Structure 1
Amino acid sequence: MQAARGTSLNSSETTTPPSARRPSPARLIGLVAGIALTAYVVDVGTKVLAVARLEPGASYPLVGDLLQLHLTRNPGAAFSTGTEYTVALTCIAITALLVVLYLSRRLGSVVWAIAFGLLLAGIAGNLTDRLFRSPGVLRGHVIDFLMLPNWPIFNVADICINAAAVLILVQAFRGVRLDGTRTTSDETPEGDA
């Protein structure tokens, strides 16, 4: 039903502009910070417990043979690659952390904010090990302690990084940009749903 001059009387026919549906930048930054801080504390706390309570080389079943605790120190990157490049990996992690912090100011989507919060926590968690654990600053070994069958040993920071990667891929496949706008097939931006 329409009133004079074509104005709709049905509230179901009115649409909210995409910019009005997006959370404020301050809320998104708060979400990034809250997720990053929470996941970072969990990562560091579990690493401290692993070092204090687990014997290196021993395995402790959590869920039978499916998930075990197994303390190891990793000087390299994922899958223990690049073990001779620990200082370079630390510098790359510092750069990645700064880039994510910079890009976080442009976020316009809750999903992107969650992904960036997890990514920040993961990078910061492993970077903390590289900066403060033995054998020394910039050369520290990352504490890994979660073990699945036929998979490299990992930690909570690694889980955060992988979860962030999945969310980033989801946003890319959905065509949602960092600022929350959506790209259609003809490259015209729309608001994020």
Structure 2
Amino acid sequence: MNTSGSSRTVSMGLGPLNAIYQARYNRYCTTRLKDTSQPRLGVPRRREMDEVESLGAIGVAAREELDNLTFVINCNLQRLDGPVRATARSFRRWRRFFRGAGWNVIKVVWGREWDPLLAADSDGALVNLMNVTPDGDYQTYKGESGAYVRENFFGRDPRTRKLVEGMTEHQIWNLKRGGHDYPEAVRGVQAATEHTGQRR
């Protein structure tokens, strides 16, 4: 990670490791030399977080109380050397790891358009459907029509089909996952950088 912005590295686990030690160095400079406390942003990808270096070093950030560090883990559904782990499973795994190490975790997965549907999902049918749907299917839905999504995603359960009865095909097709809802992603990063007393 450079001192002016975010890191861009290949999927070797070096980006998160680099970001943590840069934040540690900045903290050292702040307490001994000059103020370098402005938060830095690391953007590790899904594959990179599978490397032992990435998860091993988050304990350093916890011990050193590096709240000048923000990670945005980009789940881009791509991997060169093995199957892509399901998104929901990855989120649960990483949340356990990071929270266990003392980090503040903010999850941004679904766009704002899903909020009314999730609020109406009183028995958890929609959340269950989201969790059991493979990532590849979500990619397919985005390439198809709203009618296709209504039938092949929501239509798999009568309760979820009922949730979208009043929605147009365009509204259904426009339902975004959080990584593509830029205002929601920006809100998450802003909330993270304003949080103090923990890693973010």
TM-score where L is the length of structure 2: 0.22
Larger-Rg structure:
1
Tell me which protein shows more strand as a share of its residues: 1
TM-score where L is the length of structure 1: 0.23
